[in-house]
Amino acid sequence: MSARAIHSAADARRLAKRRLPWMVFDYIDGAAGEGVGEARNRAALDALTLRPRILRDVSERSLATRVFGAPADRPFGIAPMGMCNLAAPGADLMLARLAARHRVPHGVSTVASTPMEKIIETAEGHAWFQLYVSGDGSGSFKLVERAKAAGYRTLVLTVDVPEVGRRPRELRHGFKMPFRLGPRQMLDFALHPRWSISTLLNGRPGMANFEMPGYAFDRTESRARADWQTLARLRDAWPGQLVVKGVLDAEDARRVKQAGVDAIQVSSHGARQLDSAPAPIAMLPLIRDTVGPDMPVFYDSGLRSGEDVLKALVGGADFVFFGRILQFAIAAGGESGLGQVWSVLSDELSISMAQTGLTALRRENLGECAALAAP
């Protein structure tokens, strides 16, 4: 029922807001500070226009692309997100099945609620492990070895969380893992019985990758000690593809490239870190120019539709990722809600390609047909 009511990402968010406890909704939806950075990026995306083209026979269109040389059925994948099973029990594996079905990467967070081994198996190999380097890094490098042993071939180092950003909406609810159960939280759960009962029946989601002997994890532990030397060490330790996620500055992008990294991910962490950061969609063309045409550049943050995807591809991204809206889709309608949002996004992209005269997502065509014009 709910899945059929979803015709846009905004519909999924609206339904999720009804289903989820306030605390969980605000954790997923929340942004840093007062949400100025989030609004800035939205405004920057809205200000971009696509060039409408006519009479080009766009009857046959393909959304397929390649990422690190491998075929992908869509130019968008799943951003790494911690504790997805808060959206609904089994969310991590719903995302993994989606990745397998469409041959797109599923970012598996350091703080995923399901063990990384189970996720890559379910995703039939379409999974990338996302790493935070915490504390002195010794635990994090153990996770790198574990990811290697589990068969991961792509590692994503997230670098924009030297400290976890302050997100007042989650702080106001006393969001903590595991949950602290005070009167306010009890009321919140009681008012959202469907979520509370299913979450209770399935067990409270934990942080499965830390259930390793001798490993104590604190979600808010400082990641402030990571530096360029850490990146060099990681490059030596990781034989597969290495992505650095959370780059918003051209000078940093140049240095990341010099460090021998395989791809750069332009991202503001979905506006969850530095409220005053520039709009990532506005930094994308500059970063693309800085690293040149051959280095893979990925993008996430603030994408809400197929047209947004096209704008990011035209702006220089080779591949993009969705975050929150996939969790809202699951909260709204479970696995069929997720499938529904995925097909909405696919349809939106396909239709916008037709309207801009595109039949394929090759860079040369993107440049010609969908040039970003002044608003």
Ligand X SMILES: Cc1cc2nc3c(=O)[nH]c(=O)nc-3n(C[C@H](O)[C@H](O)[C@H](O)COP(=O)(O)O)c2cc1C
**Which residue type occupies 187?**
L
Q: Judged by CB under 6 A, which of 270, 315, 316, 333 binds ligand X?
A: 270
CA 206 vs CA 41, 84, 101, 166, 362: distances in Å? 32, 10, 26, 22, 41
Q: Judged by CB under 6 A, which of 80, 139, 333, 337 binds ligand X?
A: 80
CB of 127 to ligand X, least distance (A): 14
Query: CB-wise, 290 or 301, nearer to ligand X?
Result: 301
Bridge partners (DSSP) listed for residue 71: 66
| Cα 327 to Cα 247: distance, rounded to the nearest angstrom | 24
* Site membership for ligand X, residue 339 (CB under 6 A): no
Q: Judged by CB under 6 A, which of 76, 322, 328, 342 binds ligand X?
A: 322
* Site membership for ligand X, residue 280 (CB under 6 A): no
Query: CB-wise, 103 or 272, nearer to ligand X?
Result: 272
Q: How many residues at the interface with ligand X, by CB under 6 A? A: 22
| Cα 350 to Cα 62: distance, rounded to the nearest angstrom | 8
* Site membership for ligand X, residue 31 (CB under 6 A): no
* Site membership for ligand X, residue 328 (CB under 6 A): no
CA 94 vs CA 118, 232, 327, 331, 363: distances in Å? 12, 34, 10, 12, 31
Contacts of 348 (CB under 8 A, 6+ apart): 305, 306, 307, 309
Residues 161-200 that bind ligand X (CB under 6 A): none
CB atoms within 10 A of CB 280: 29
Instruction: Report the sign of the C-alpha dihedral through residues 163, 164, 167, 171, in that order.
Output: negative
| Cα 68 to Cα 253: distance, rounded to the nearest angstrom | 19
Instruction: Report which residue's Cβ sits closest to ligand X.
Output: 323
Site pattern 82..121 for ligand X (x: CB under 6 A): x--------------------------xxx----------
Q: Judged by CB under 6 A, which of 85, 114, 158, 185 binds ligand X?
A: 158
Query: CB-wise, 26 or 335, nearer to ligand X?
Result: 26
Residues 106, 173, 192, 269: which is the catalytic one? 269
Nearest to residue 324, comparing CAs of 8, 6, 12, 1? 12
Q: Judged by CB under 6 A, which of 15, 28, 244, 247 binds ligand X?
A: 28
Is residue 7 among the annotated active site residues? no
DSSP state of 68: T
Chain contacts with ligand X (rule: CB under 6 A): 28, 79-82, 109-111, 130, 158, 245, 267, 269-270, 272, 300-303, 322-324
Catalytic residue positions? Answer: 269
